[in-house]
Amino acid sequence: MPTQKPRPSLVARLLTGITIATALASCSSGPVSTESQVLHVGAIPDQNPEKLNRLYSSLSDELSDQLKVPVEYVPVSNYPAAVTAFRTGSLDLVWFGGLTGVQARLQTPGAKVLAQRDIDAKFTSVFIANGASGLRPFSKGDQLTNLKGRRLSFGSESSTSGRLMPQYFMSQNGVSTDEFAGGAPGFSGSHDATIAVVQSGAYEVGALNEQVWKSNLEDGRVDPNKVSVIWRTPPYVDYHWVARPDLDERFGKGFTNKVQTALLAITADTPRGETILELFGAAEFIPAQNSDYDKIEAVGRQLGKIR
């Protein structure tokens, strides 16, 4: 008669189950994926995509070398998309305008302003006009009333320098947006596009950030016989870098400070640093903090862009 093979004891079976469960748990919480280690950088699409791709490709390489982590530039289609991507974690570090940066931080508690350009502490917008409009340069804000009844285009609806602050200074001088031809302003979508629609005559007047205006002038993309500046706004604070609140958790303690240090360390002393700063239109990045944008938040609430 054959000997019956002994059955595993209940304890043995339990131990086996625990071992398997432990192994599965280990697999599910194992090493952080390579993808999660990538620092995703983004920016509001305020200029033509070709320039943005050149700029952020160089910047990504620079940050990757300094921070010792892969850095990837992720383009977005419009300003609200940049805010959404930051809130949901698709973007970790974003170059925002004043208004979009405030909107992003309000939607992402704990987000931190790291830096701005030297030119952002006292930024300005310009109003430009097509020569056929008959509008001529003026020096006082109260002369903005000359724009009533004109065809005017802003840039993006969420642009600080191409919509929010120009509209704010108009409201301070008694001009409301329903007083333009057609009962409302147009929106070109970007600063470059605002120049194009005014230069073509599609709109008589446009408002955009002065840095982009100067850049287009220097690159020969503006015909001064067709379009020129008629007024410059008082200075205000604008663009800045904003970091998500979970960078230290994902990349290690102190990583957020390392990102700030890396941005501030970019100088024109290296060929790549020179390229980055030239494309940003700045001499350097300087420290910035959330409270620097309190005035922008107040104006945004006043004009109904922040609720």
Which pLDDT score, from 0 to 100, does residue 22 have?
35
**How is residue 136 written in tokens?**
């001529």
pLDDT tens-place string over residues 230-248: 999 999 999 999 999 999 9
pLDDT tens-place string over residues 169-206: 999 999 999 999 999 999 999 999 999 999 999 999 99
Confidence of residue 33 (pLDDT cuts 50, 70, 90): very low
Nearby residues of 272 by Cβ (< 8 Å), 6 or more positions away? 58, 61, 62
Output the pTM of the full model.
Answer: 0.80
* Whole-number average pLDDT of the chain: 89
Q: What is the dihedral of CA 47, 51, 56, 62, to 10 degrees?
A: -140
Q: Which of 86, 80, 129 is nearest to 245 (CA)?
A: 86
Which pLDDT score, from 0 to 100, does residue 36 have?
55
Asked whether 154 and 188 are in contact (CB, 8 A), the reply is yes
Amino acid code (one letter) for 120:
D
Beta strands in the chain (DSSP E): 39-43, 71-73, 93-96, 112-117, 125-130, 152-154, 186-187, 205-209, 227-232, 240-243, 285-287
**How is residue 289 written in tokens?**
């903090």
Is 3 a residue whose pLDDT tops 80? no
Kindly state the percentage of the chain with pLDDT values over 90. Answer: 83
Confidence of residue 15 (pLDDT cuts 50, 70, 90): very low
Within 13 A of 242's CA, how many CA atoms are on the CB side?
35
